[in-house]
Structure 1
Amino acid sequence: MSRIAIFSDVHGNLPALKTILADLDLRKPDQVYCLGDLVDFAPWPNEVIELLQACRIPCIMGNHDERIAYDHEVIPLKKHTEDETNARIQAVDHTRDAISAGNKDFLGKLPQKIRLNFTQQGQELSILLVHGSTRSNEEYIYENHNEADLYQMMEDENADVLIMGHTHQSYIRKINTPDGPEKLALNCGSVGRSKEGEALATYLLLDIGTTTLTVELVKLPYPVEETVEAILASGIPDFYANFLLLQR
């Protein structure tokens, strides 16, 4: 049996990350991976990066990591109000000012994908980890995404299980296949900025046996007030503190 833990979208929220890591210390997975977006929106970009490095947790490059690493501009999204767009720009600027040169370089060297291979009854089980989708770390794949498109993405990558972040909304979805076993499309949610209605730090656990695959979404309370107070005391817009307060 192999136990794999996967989390994503920490967004500089150190108290939430510490909560996840404390739970992992108890559950003792064999491997731990992070799907990116280590920075922006909470005021601990350096501390988050350095803690993940100290724990030797492999990470993927999220779209926010890429933006900070390569100084990409913030492109407004249609789903955001003008107030949120302005807050995004200010929060990203805060990270640009705060991040160390070494940590910026670290973000720029992160991979786009990680593949894990296991063997079950002589058959290979291929698990693909990405931030947004197989095509882009900017693409949002929600639970209601077109099944045929999801299936084709996984076929193109020879993946039996696709694990994503980016949307900040966790889910477990079975994908039907024309002539074989079901595939799985999973989203591990967000550690530091959940959009599921509650300020909970979320991650995914996979238990992989010789014939079985068990998936569990773990959702943990963390000291939200600590994060809120730190945002209010920083140069990050209060928008993000208020977002967390509304979900308590």
Structure 2
Amino acid sequence: MKIAALADIHGNIDALEAVLADLERHRPDAIVNLGDSLSSPLAAGETAERLLPLSLPTVRGNHDRALVEGPESEMGDWEKPAFPELSEAHLQWLRDMPSALVVEGEVYMCHATPQRDDVMWTEELLPSGHFALKSQAEIEALAEGISYPLILCGHSHTARSVLLSEGRILVNPGSVGCPGFAYNVPVDHKLEAANPFACYAIIEKTDAGWQPTFHQVRYDTTRMVSLARDAGYEDWVKVIATGRVD
């Protein structure tokens, strides 16, 4: 069995199309979406139109939630340009998403952690503004009560796998459509992939256990860069073009 895991598409339809095309050569048994699909100044509506007919098992991310939990006037910078592009059908799709799912009877999936959709599972933000890998004990604590052998999460935009107790494995596929970001809460910080590629993972069930393989797909970023520039989001221009924030 092969599971393809996508996460953090963030309205980057061209990155999504590149990943879907690349998946054709791998022929996974299932494709799952770990959330944060639309919020960005890129192509939220077009991305929603592509995703809905696919009917992928999908969990709701913090940015998905932000598009439907409050008034437009109170939305953040990632939601404000996306919301006007979305139809009522798109918004209902977001409302109906669960916070967690189990697929194929042994694969647990959530956006960030089982407890919260806005806290990184494996990375910790230090007071210096840098990210560090959490301790094994901290990572294990967040997985308490989840006995499934394969656990999938996103949110950090960082491809990573962590071997847990009892042979379980936690996998973050990285971000399909947003290879970096900067923010100032609780301290100034940034995360950069250092390349503009579309990322995903394939996790295959083998005799030895679930085996992840991480993929980076080159695609033409020209149109997405133009959309970000036209919308006045120069930070997105930089990160989509280069994978760097500055």
**Contact 1:67–1:73 (CA<8 Å) still a contact in 2?**
no
Q: Is the 8 A contact 2:72 2:80 kept in 1?
A: no
Structure 1, 14-23 or 136-145: larger mean CA deviation: 136-145
Q: In the TM superposition, what is the alpha-carbon distance from 1:238 to its structure 2 partner? A: 2.1
* Aligned with 1:155 (options 103, 122, 144): 144
| 1:91–1:237 Cα contact (<8 Å) kept | no
Give the letter aligned to residue 239 of structure 1. D
Matched, 1:136 2:116: yes
Given that 2:2 and 2:29 are in contact with CA atoms closer than 8 Å, whether structure 1 keeps it comes out as: yes
Contact 2:8–2:175, Cα closer than 8 Å, also in 1: yes
Contact 2:35 2:59 in 1 (8 A): yes
Structure 2 Cα separation of the partners of residues 236 and 159 of structure 1: 44
Give the structure, 1 or 2, with the largest relative contact order (CA under 8 Å, sep 6 or more): 1
| CA distance in structure 2 between the partners assigned to 1:245 and 1:48 by the alignment | 19
Residue 168 of structure 2: aligned partner = 183
Query: Does structure 2 conserve the Cα–Cα contact (< 8 Å) formed by 1:90 and 1:237?
Result: no
Counterpart position of 1:100: 87
Residue pairs, 1:69-84, within 5 angstroms: 69-71=68-70
Residues 186-205 of structure 1 mapped to structure 2, 5 A cutoff: 186-195=171-180, 196-205=193-202
Once residues 153 and 74 of structure 1 are traced to their aligned partners in structure 2, the CA distance between those partners, rounded to angstroms, is 34
Structure 1 residues without counterparts, runs of 5 or longer: 76-87, 119-125
Q: In 1, are the aligned partners of 2:150 and 2:210 still within 8 Å (CA)?
A: no
| Equivalent pair of 2:204/2:211 in contact (CA under 8 Å) | yes
What is the alpha-carbon distance in structure 2 between the residues aligned to residue 207 and residue 74 of structure 1? 44
Question: What fraction of aligned residue pairs are identical, expressed as a percent?
Answer: 21
Amino acid in the other structure paired with 1:5? A
Partner of 1:51: 50
Q: What is the rounded CA distance, in whole Å, between the counterparts of 1:152 and 1:206 in structure 2?
A: 23
Per-residue deviation, 1:110: 0.6
C-alpha distance 236-161 of structure 1, shift in aligned 2 (>3 A) = farther
Q: What is the 5 A alignment of 1:27-38?
A: 27-38=26-37
Q: TM-score under structure 1 normalisation?
A: 0.82
One-letter amino acid of the counterpart of residue 187, structure 1: N
Tell which deviates more after alignment, 199-208 or 224-233.
Answer: 224-233
Runs of 4+ in 1 over 4 A off after TM superposition: 72-75
Change (3 A) 1:12 1:236: farther
Q: TM-score, normalised by structure 2?
A: 0.83
Q: CA deviation at 1:213?
A: 2.3
| Partner AA of 1:204 in structure 2 | A
SS in 1 for 2:144: helix
The alpha carbon displacement at 1:236 in A equals 5.0
Kept in 2, the 8 Å contact 1:19–1:201? The answer is yes
2:116 and 2:3 mapped to 1: Cα distance? 24
Q: Secondary structure at the match of 1:89?
A: coil
> Is this contact kept in 2: 1:13–1:42, CA < 8 A?
no
Question: Given that residues 204 and 210 in structure 2 are in contact (C-alpha distance below 8 angstroms), is that contact kept between their aligned partners in structure 1?
Answer: yes
Residues 1:241 and 2:240 are matched in the alignment: no
Higher share in helix: 1
User: What secondary structure, in the 3-state scheme, does the structure 1 residue paired with 2:68 have?
Assistant: helix
Q: SS at the partner of 1:132? A: coil
1:152–1:247 distance in 2 versus 1, CA, 3 Å? closer
Of the two, which has the highest radius of gyration? 1
The corresponding residue for 1:81 is none
2:190: which partner in 1? none
Alpha-carbon offset, residue 72 of structure 1: 6.3
Secondary structure at the counterpart of residue 98 of structure 2: coil
State how many pairs are aligned: 223
